[in-house]
Amino acid sequence: MDRVALRGLKARGHHGVFPKEREEGQTFIVDLVLGLDTRPAAADDDLTKTVHYGVVAEEVVDVVQGEPVDLIETLAERIAQQCLSHAGVQEVEVVVHKPDAPITVPFDDVTVTITRSRR
Residues designated as active site: 98
d(CA 40, CA 104): 50
Q: Please work out, in degrees rounded to the nearest 5, the angle formed at the alpha carbon of residue 118 by the alpha carbons of 33 and 13.
A: 50
DSSP 38-97: -HHHHHHT-GGGS--HHHHHHHHHHHHHSS--S-HHHHHHHHHHHHHTSTT--EEEEEEE
Q: What is the DSSP letter of 112?
A: E
